[in-house]
């Protein structure tokens, strides 16, 4: 019997950024990347400071793998038609933000971008896609390799080890049949539950720490408000992008979202939730909340 747990997107915003809970994320990353991952720190990026949506839908982590390589990992959520360009921008920005001024280009950290997508994206029936950068000859179709000097300088074996890698996880394409430990994690990402016989790294800790029943009243109310906002975003995505009703909808789309946030904030305020928490969950300003 699977136990209902806190959804992974909420957990990553509110729970998994704590060092005490790194073991959950380390388990997920280790299963996905097929190497033992140790989280060194959760990074506060410039893009987090500039963009409220990035702050709520993205976490940047500095990790170390089993070969002692330092890697920057981005885990992202979003519902955008131009999502691929967003990934490109975010990974490029991460490289620039975390390269010390005056450092050589050889010091650039490896970036791995992981997207957990809860909406239909592109054409394809797999549920995990992996993208890398390779250089292939136009005439003989051979792959460009690093020289021995370059391998020593960059401390990698392949050209694609230098460039960002991308993982796209389309959870809705998963058929709920877990054939290996990585599938067990995808099952959790899709269903917010873990079966008792699952053994993947980090899932036992997730089962212990992400139990919905362990939430206090205020946490539960904030979580429900978050779920309501996700449903609203899904409806907007369906009506504007999927059904092709883009023209003249942008203003109405934003107004509808604002009304939902105001209604959610009002309910939270009536329930006695602290103003600081309401602001954090809804993104509304102090003035907007005081006027409710």
In angstroms, the CA 227 to CA 14 distance is 14
> Tell me, what DSSP letter sits at residue 78?
-
Confidence at residue 282, expressed as pLDDT on a 0 to 100 scale? 80
Strand, helix or coil for residue 211 = strand
In angstroms, the CA 183 to CA 127 distance is 10
Confidence at residue 250, expressed as pLDDT on a 0 to 100 scale? 52
Mind listing the pLDDT tens digit of every residue in the chain (292 residues)? 555 788 888 888 778 888 999 999 999 999 999 999 999 998 865 444 444 444 446 788 999 999 898 899 988 766 555 678 878 888 888 888 888 777 788 788 899 999 998 877 778 899 999 999 999 999 999 999 999 999 998 889 999 999 999 999 999 999 999 999 999 999 999 999 999 999 999 999 999 988 876 777 777 777 777 777 666 665 655 555 445 544 454 555 566 667 778 887 887 787 777 888 788 778 888 888 888 8
Strand, helix or coil for residue 89 = helix
Confidence at residue 141, expressed as pLDDT on a 0 to 100 scale? 95
Q: In this structure, are strands 193-194 and 165-170 parallel, antiparallel, or unpaired?
A: unpaired
Check the CA dihedral 217-220-222-228 and report its sign. Answer: negative
Instruction: Answer yes or no: are the C-beta atoms of 182 and 32 closer than 8 Å.
Output: yes
In angstroms, the CA 32 to CA 22 distance is 15
- Three-state secondary structure readout of 261-273: HHHHHHHHHHCCC
Write down the domain spans for the chain.
3-209, 215-290
In the Cβ-directed half-sphere of 147, how many Cα atoms lie within 13 Å?
Answer: 3
In angstroms, the CA 60 to CA 70 distance is 13
Single pTM value for the model: 0.74
């Amino acid at each position: 019997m699977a136990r209902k747990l806190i959804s992974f997107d909420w957990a990553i915003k509110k729970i998994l950024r704590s060092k005490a809970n790194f073991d959950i994320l380390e388990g997920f990353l280790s299963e996905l990347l097929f190497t033992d991952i140790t989280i060194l720190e959760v990074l506060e990026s410039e893009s987090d400071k500039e963009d409220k949506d990035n702050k709520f839908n993205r976490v940047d982590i500095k990790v170390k793998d089993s070969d002692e390589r330092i890697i920057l990992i981005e885990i992202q959520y979003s519902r955008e038609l131009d999502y691929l360009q967003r990934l490109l921008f975010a990974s490029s920005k991460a490289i620039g933000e975390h390269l010390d001024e005056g450092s050589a280009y050889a010091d650039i950290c490896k970036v791995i971008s992981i997207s957990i997508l809860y909406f239909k994206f592109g054409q394809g029936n797999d549920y995990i896609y992996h993208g890398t950068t390779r250089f292939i000859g136009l005439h003989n179709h051979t792959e460009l390799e690093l020289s021995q000097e370059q391998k020593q300088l960059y401390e990698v074996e392949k050209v694609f080890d230098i460039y960002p890698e991308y993982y796209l996880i389309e959870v809705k394409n998963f058929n709920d049949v877990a054939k290996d430990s990585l599938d067990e994690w995808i099952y959790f990402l899709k269903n917010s539950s873990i079966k008792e016989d699952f053994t993947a790294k980090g899932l036992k800790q997730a089962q212990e720490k992400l139990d919905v029943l362990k939430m206090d009243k205020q946490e539960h109310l904030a979580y429900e408000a978050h779920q309501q906002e996700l449903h609203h975003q899904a409806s907007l995505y369906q009506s504007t992008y999927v059904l092709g009703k883009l023209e003249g909808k942008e203003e109405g789309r934003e107004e509808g979202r604002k009304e939902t946030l105001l209604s959610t904030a009002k309910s939270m305020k009536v329930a006695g939730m602290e103003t600081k928490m309401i602001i954090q969950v809804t993104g509304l300003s102090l003035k907007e909340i005081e006027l409710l």
